[in-house]
Amino acid sequence: MLTWEMIREMDRSKIDFQSHTATHPHLLQISYERIKYEIISSRAVIEEHLGKRSNIFCYPYAEYDERIINVLKGEGVIAATAEHPDKENLYEIRRVSSAHLATDLAFKTALAGGFPLFYSCKYLAEKLWSSRSYNNISCSREKEAG
Ligand SMILES: [Zn+2]
């Protein structure tokens, strides 16, 4: 666990710390007032300890909708990160989860700029695996064979 002293030192060394809510809730499952509290209070703590405004936000669990984006805009947050982004939208900037950087190879690949390709392939594989069309293709092949 990092101390605020460590975080201040890292922040001075160009590692940027931004808001990710106060209690890491599933934002789609809580009230509008609670969403505002989570965003406002987490930004206030960063401002208090680092002496700067947190203008970028990271959605817990990468879960968000227009209601949450509107709160961010209303509070002056200029951008947010999502897992499967629309590159044209500042509130859906691509992020890489730290869970995907657990090995030295993954971390070095990310630093070398190769991670977006890996991540895109992983996303495509997940989409194919879970999509109905994939199941239909399997069924069609079984019918053809049978
Ligand atoms: Zn998180």
25 SS3 class: coil
Cα dihedral 99→105→110→112 (10° resolution)? 170
Give the percent of the chain with pLDDT over 70: 73
Query: 25 alpha carbon to ligand 1 midpoint, in Å?
Result: 9
User: How many A from CA of 69 to the centre of ligand 1?
Assistant: 17
- Interval between CA 98 and ligand 1 midpoint (Å): 9
Query: Which residues are paired to 80 by β-bridges?
Result: 57
Ligand 1: distance of its center to the CA of 146 in Å?
48
CA distances from 23 to 37, 38, 39, 69 (A): 10, 7, 10, 18
Q: What is 1-14 written as a DSSP string?
A: ---HHHHHHHHHTT
Rounded to the nearest whole angstrom, what is the distance from the C-alpha of residue 62 to the centroid of ligand 1?
8
Residues with CB under 5 A from ligand 1 (ion): 60
How much distance in Å is there from the Cα of 47 to the middle of ligand 1?
A: 19
Average pLDDT over residues 9-17: 89
- Quick: pLDDT tens for 69-85: 999 999 999 999 988 77
The per-residue pLDDT for 136 is 39
CATH number belonging to domain 1-95: 3.20.20.370
Q: Please state the rounded mean pLDDT for residues 92-115.
A: 74
The alpha carbon of residue 142 and the mean position of all alpha carbons in its chain are separated, in whole angstroms, by 39
Beta carbons of 109 and 115 less than 8 angstroms apart: yes
23: its two tokens: 């209690």
pTM: 0.69
The structure tokens 């879970």 sit at 130
- In the chain, where the domains are located: 1-95, 99-146
